[in-house]
Amino acid sequence: MQWVSTGTDAASRASMLLGGQVDAGLLTAPSYFKLETQGLKVLTELPDHEDIYVSTAFLHKRSYLAEQRGRAEGLIRAHAEAIKRFYDDKAFAVATFKAFDQPESEADISRVYDIYVKRNVLDRVPLISKAAIQATIDRLAEQTPAVRKLDLGKVVDNSLVLKLVKDGWFEQTFGSAVREEQERKIAGALG
């Protein structure tokens, strides 16, 4: 396989695919929908690969976290409540996406929503996993070997999310159906 530089946006990758300059490209929904109508086939999708991690992370200095713990916890709660609203209210989610990405059709946005919901793409319990951190380190270590020496316990702090789990906040917010996700995420969480 030979990697080809295609630019930074999906439009340039799509153009290269259509022009025959590359045989495959990484595109996100809804950009690949138009290519499907032109006869190109989806080979695979990221949510189909458990070993590819897309994590939500909130970055704060330790000093900020110590001083503003309540504010940081509020951010985590607001984020989780937004994800709940996303899963519970398709019309609202589609309208919100449309408000910020005008060129996309409502039908395409609706299809993206359906893909996200079917594959449960958005984490309700945003614990950073050991595997996701290790995958990041492995990727970074190719260019910066010193990254392997990081003390991950000093880099990642899942304590606020774990506190919310212990307090039952995610179950209150999402209902008992979130228990399986909580248990799975805790088992694989860093720290």
Last residue of a domain, one of 122, 138, 166: 122
Alpha helix positions (H), 38-178: 62-67, 69-88, 90-100, 106-118, 130-141, 152-155, 159-166, 169-174
Q: Do 78 and 26 share a structural domain?
A: no
Q: Are residues 81 and 160 in the same domain?
A: yes
Tell whether 137 and 100 lie within a shared domain.
no
Range of 60-64, 116-120, 185-189 with top mean pLDDT = 185-189
Q: Are residues 28 and 105 in the same domain?
A: no
Residues contacting 157, CB < 8 A, separation 6+: 62, 65, 191
Do 183 and 128 lie in a common domain?
yes
Report d(CA 100, CA 103) in Å as an integer.
9
In a domain, 79, yes or no: yes
Q: Is 106 found in the same domain as 17?
A: no
Total domain count, the chain: 3
Q: 34 and 81 in one domain?
A: no
60 with 76, same domain: the answer is yes
Mean pLDDT of 100-127: 88
Q: What is the pLDDT of residues 11-30, one digit of tens each?
A: 788 888 888 888 988 888 88
Q: Does 118 lie in the same domain as 53?
A: no
* Residue type present at position 10: A
Give 189's strand partners. 129
Quickly state the pLDDT bin for 151 (edges 50, 70, 90).
confident
Domain that holds residue 110: 89-122
